[in-house]
Amino acid sequence: MRLLLGSLFALVVAAVVGLGATYLALTRGAAFGPLTIGSWTAWPKTGTADADPYVRASIARIGRLPTALGDGVAFTASADDNGRPLDGRCDVVLAGVTPAARFWTLTLYNADGELVANSIKRSGFTSQEIVRHADGSFEIVVAPRANPSNWLPTGGVERYVLLLRLYDTAVGVSTKAGREVPMPSVNVRSCP
Amino acid sequence: MIRWLLLALGGALLGGIVHLATIIILPHTATQDAYARLARSVPVNTVAPLPEPTAESAPMPFMDPAFASAVCRYDLSQGPLKLSVPVSLAYTSVSFYTRYDVAYYAINDRAAGRRVIELDLMTVEQHSQMPEDEEITAADRLIVESPTLTGLIAIRALAPEPGLMPMAKSAIANARCVRADEPKPSR
């Protein structure tokens, strides 16, 4: 009886620890070799045949096709520079420049990776659509209400993520965070 | 007391094995991964345009709405495939994914350096069986080896402004992916 109870206990511990760790790894998006610049994180290895098992599992779970490294690199931001989660009811300003790339696109998704409905049917910008300052830097306002200059509507959703995809770029697996890879800052301007 | 602590420790170690096993097995059992989603709606060995992602519906999550895209779901069991993609004005890329959505190769218009991206896709085995002389005549064709028998080719053209989307779509519409031993379809 004691043996039975003991092994049952050990098996329950195993199931809780094992499945719990798998669940956490998949929902938190754990993977090896992140490249973090400011609020932005990319996993360049995700787009290669060397993708680790954690990346493979999370790709299969989400059901997306990762950006291949020969195509580009995708940077994700889900919090501002102070670490606060991005809130669609606030005005958030992205300011600065991007690393060298032939094109880039910035897209706003909800936490499930779906586009967010809004009045002007705009879910992102490409590098060609942006109005820039004289020195080439730009400012994008991510906000629920219309703003002058580059306005990206949030549709008022509570949580969102921004994806900045660089296409045809030298940024890759061997890139280190530094001056050669500047990413725009993410700051909350005002919050109701 | 010691006995329960030891059992908990053993359980935790076993849990580590359970964790690694589930992580490794998961891609092979997923029913909602990109390949499985597309397998329901997309025919085999032909280029199928994907609908633009909108807030209401999208073929898969995290698609870039600035791109016109199409996929060729391939099956190499009958022989190699030939792929040709005319490049659009802005930026065109072709990415190759295995059956389990791992990107193993990608090429863009500038790397291809021509007006049409032309590729031969085959398995490692089919490549090794190719006659030597044929390989010389085909030297200017790019050969891509697929690690799996089935998989996905994603063909994507950028519309730098929303108004240029029709142009990107029409460039993609002329992409072809056909069995290498089939005669070219007359157009």
CB A141 within 8 A of CB A92: yes
For residues A50 and A18, state if they share a domain.
no
Task: Say if residue B26's pLDDT is above 60.
Answer: yes
For residues B48 and B13, state if they share a domain.
no
Q: How far is A177 from chain B (nearest CA, A)?
A: 24
When pLDDT is averaged across residues B53-78 and rounded to a whole number, the result is 92
User: How far out from the chain centre does Cα A156 lie?
Assistant: 19
CB B55 within 8 A of CB A86: no
Contacts of B75 (CB under 8 A, 6+ apart): B44, B45, B149, B150
Token reading at B120? 């031969």
Domain total in chain B: 2
User: Which value, in Å, is the radius of gyration of the alpha carbons in chain B?
Assistant: 21
pLDDT band of residue B184 (cuts 50, 70, 90) is low
B158 contact residues in A (CB cutoff 8 A): 103, 105, 126, 167
Handedness of CA A172, A177, A181, A182 (dihedral sign): positive
Residue B185 inside a domain? The answer is no
When pLDDT is averaged across residues B155-171 and rounded to a whole number, the result is 92
Mean pLDDT is lowest, of A37-51, B77-91, B138-152, for B138-152
Task: Say if residue B62's pLDDT is above 90.
Answer: yes
Token reading at B12? 């935790």
For residues A107 and A184, state if they share a domain.
yes
| CB–CB contact B22 A60 (8 Å) | no
A68 contact residues in B (CB cutoff 8 A): 93, 95-97, 103, 105-106
Task: Please indicate whether residue A56 or residue A31 has the higher confidence score (pLDDT).
Answer: A56
Residue-wise pLDDT for A11-45, tens only, equals: 998 888 889 888 888 887 667 778 888 899 998 88
Handedness of CA B134, B135, B141, B147 (dihedral sign): positive
pTM: 0.88
B154 contact residues in A (CB cutoff 8 A): 65
Residue B153 inside a domain? The answer is yes
- Which residues in chain A (88-107) have CB-CB distances under 8 A to chain B? 102-103, 105, 107
Whole-angstrom CA distances from B27 to A62, B21, B138, B160 are 11, 11, 36, 34
For residues A126 and A140, state if they share a domain.
yes
Strand order in the sheet with B81-86: B142-146, B116-123, B81-86, B176-179
| CB–CB contact B100 A56 (8 Å) | yes
The pLDDT of residue B186: 46
The pLDDT of residue B133: 61
For residues B110 and B57, state if they share a domain.
yes
The pLDDT of residue A192: 81
The pLDDT of residue A147: 86
Whole-angstrom CA distances from A165 to A72, A102, A148 are 7, 11, 24
For residues A78 and A138, state if they share a domain.
yes
For residues A38 and A19, state if they share a domain.
no
Residue-wise pLDDT for B2-25, tens only, equals: 888 888 898 899 999 999 999 999
Task: Supply the range of the domain harboring residue B25.
Answer: 1-30
pLDDT band of residue B95 (cuts 50, 70, 90) is very high
For residues A120 and A131, state if they share a domain.
yes
Residue-wise pLDDT for B115-134, tens only, equals: 888 889 999 888 888 776 66
The pLDDT of residue B130: 77
Burial of residue B160 (CB within 10 Å: 0-12, 13-18, 19+) is buried
Contacts of A188 (CB under 8 A, 6+ apart): A80, A82, A84, A87, A90, A91, A92, A93
For residues A23 and A107, state if they share a domain.
no
Q: Does B95 touch chain A (CB under 8 A)?
A: yes
For residues B162 and B135, state if they share a domain.
yes
- Which residues in chain B (17-36) have CB-CB distances under 8 A to chain A? 17-24, 26-27, 30, 32-34, 36
CATH code for the domain in which residue B150 is found: 2.60.40
For residues B158 and B92, state if they share a domain.
yes
Q: Cα(B89)–Cα(A142) distance, rounded to whole angstroms?
A: 29
Instruction: Calculate the average pLDDT of chain B.
Output: 87
The percent of residues in chain A predicted with pLDDT above 90, rounded, is 46
Residue B9 inside a domain? The answer is yes
Q: Cα(A83)–Cα(A105) distance, rounded to whole angstroms?
A: 23
pLDDT band of residue B65 (cuts 50, 70, 90) is very high
If you measure CA to CA, which chain A residue comes closest to B101? A65
The pLDDT of residue A94: 94
Task: Please indicate whether residue A25 or residue B63 has the higher confidence score (pLDDT).
Answer: B63
Q: Does A32 touch chain B (CB under 8 A)?
A: no
CATH code for the domain in which residue A102 is found: 2.60.120.600
For residues B62 and B78, state if they share a domain.
yes
| CB–CB contact A18 B16 (8 Å) | yes
Residue B186 inside a domain? The answer is no
Which residue has 């909800």 as its token pair? A110
The percent of residues in chain B predicted with pLDDT above 70, rounded, is 92
- Residue B48 — φ and ψ, nearest 5°? -120, 125
B152 contact residues in A (CB cutoff 8 A): 65
Task: Please indicate whether residue B111 or residue B178 has the higher confidence score (pLDDT).
Answer: B178
Q: Which of B16, B20, B106 sits opposite A69 (nearest CB)?
A: B106
For residues B84 and B58, state if they share a domain.
yes
Q: What angle do CA B117, B147, A76 make, to 5 degrees?
A: 70
H or E element, residue B12: helix B2-29
Handedness of CA A86, A88, A90, A94 (dihedral sign): positive
Residue-wise pLDDT for A61-97, tens only, equals: 888 899 999 899 999 999 999 999 999 999 999 999 9
Which residue has 């070219």 as its token pair? B184
Which residue has 């509507």 as its token pair? A153
For residues B85 and B15, state if they share a domain.
no
For residues B25 and B46, state if they share a domain.
no
DSSP-assigned states of every residue in A41-101:
EE-GGGGSTT--HHHHHHHHHHT-PPPPTTTEEEEEE-B-TTSPBPBTTSEEEEEE---SE
| CB–CB contact A61 B64 (8 Å) | no
Beta bridge partners of B169: none
For residues B25 and B43, state if they share a domain.
no
Q: Does A111 touch chain B (CB under 8 A)?
A: no
Task: Supply the range of the domain harboring residue A22.
Answer: 1-30
Task: Say if residue A163's pLDDT is above 70.
Answer: yes
For residues A64 and A142, state if they share a domain.
yes
- Which residues in chain B (156-175) have CB-CB distances under 8 A to chain A? 156, 158-161
Q: Which of B12, B54, B60 sits opposite A115 (nearest CB)?
A: B54
Instruction: Calculate the average pLDDT of chain A.
Output: 89
For residues A103 and A55, state if they share a domain.
yes
pLDDT band of residue A5 (cuts 50, 70, 90) is confident
Task: Say if residue B66's pLDDT is above 80.
Answer: yes
Residue-wise pLDDT for A112-133, tens only, equals: 899 999 888 899 999 999 999 9
When pLDDT is averaged across residues B64-89 and rounded to a whole number, the result is 91
Instruction: Report the complex ipTM.
Output: 0.87
Q: Does B62 touch chain A (CB under 8 A)?
A: yes
CB A186 within 8 A of CB A39: yes
| CB–CB contact B95 A70 (8 Å) | yes
